[in-house]
Amino acid sequence: MPINQGEIFDILGTPWIVVDNFHNNIGGYDIIHCAPILKTPELRLELDVSVAFEGGFVSLGLMTKKPKTTLRHPVGRVYRQEMAEIRTNLVTWFSVYSFDFDTVRRLPAPPEQGPSIYPGMIFRLSTGLVCVVDHWGCFNDYPLLYIAPVVPDLINPCPLDVEISPEFQDLFSNHYYVRTDDFFLASREEIDITRNPQTPMLGYGLLHKTTTALILKFGQLSLLL
């Protein structure tokens, strides 16, 4: 049975909504991005979306991958207009500075001081190379940011992987890719720029490609027409 975007599943007493459109349409993937539905006002962030289901809100800032095997019996689904707002806010989260301002209505307020971490920066963490893909979190100084692994020479690349080696021939001897679909949360302290003084950064073209991949993932294809 297919798992549809907007369906809600109970996992250990917490409802989770499927926000991923890519894995619904492409076979062969066993995990899918979901976001929890919470009711605690103190945990709500600006781009979280209110839903009628149990009077809660979709916490987009806490979305993570869930195995499809844990999503067995849906307990509900969000309304079409709620899902449309979720998709729009997800695109805002990852791409607000990669597209014309008219395509996204909710822009972050300019920070009093410039952010220390920008989308497209590449860092070396304990887990390896990573690329920052979180526009909203960077420009709003969020304590957690979405980052994606940067890996060499993929054998079976995903359609959402973005090759970045053309701009980094002096840095990389292999072909390197941003694994856009494998983004995850990391603390701002963990990717502190002071520990990475010489930080390479993606150019606009490659940053735009990662944004396009995320738009395809969440199903906002109208923005690409």
pLDDT in tens, 138-177: 888 889 999 999 998 888 888 899 998 876 665 566 788 9
Q: What is the mean pLDDT of residues 109-132?
A: 80
**CA 214/CA 136 separation, integer angstroms:** 14
What is the torsional sign of CA 91, 93, 94, 100?
positive
Residue 133: what residue type?
Answer: V
pLDDT grade for 15, boundaries at 50, 70 and 90? very high
Q: What is the mean pLDDT of residues 112-136?
A: 85
**CA 18/CA 180 separation, integer angstroms:** 18
Helices vs. strands in the chain: H and E counts, helices first: 4, 13
Residue 79 confidence (pLDDT) = 96
- pLDDT above 60: residue 107: no
- pLDDT above 60: residue 109: no
Residue 200 confidence (pLDDT) = 84
Average predicted confidence (pLDDT) for the chain: 84
Domain boundaries, the chain: 7-78, 122-224
* pLDDT tens readout for residues 66-80: 999 999 889 999 999
CATH number of the 122-224 domain: 2.30.30.110
Q: What is the mean pLDDT of residues 100-109?
A: 46
Q: Give DSSP secondary structure letters for 17-68.
A: EE--SHHHHSSS--EEEEEEEE--GGG--TT-EE-SGGG-EE-GGG-EEEEG
CB 200 within 8 A of CB 171: yes
Residue 2 confidence (pLDDT) = 77
Pick the closest to residue 21 from 34, 38, 40 (CA basis): 34
Pairing status of strand 144-152 against strand 74-77: unpaired
How far is residue 108 from each of residues 23, 63, 97, 116, 131, measured CA to CA in Å? 29, 20, 10, 16, 21
109 burial via Cβ count (<10 Å: 0-12, 13-18, 19+):
exposed
Three-class SS state of 92: helix
Pick the closest to residue 180 from 131, 220, 145 (CA basis): 131
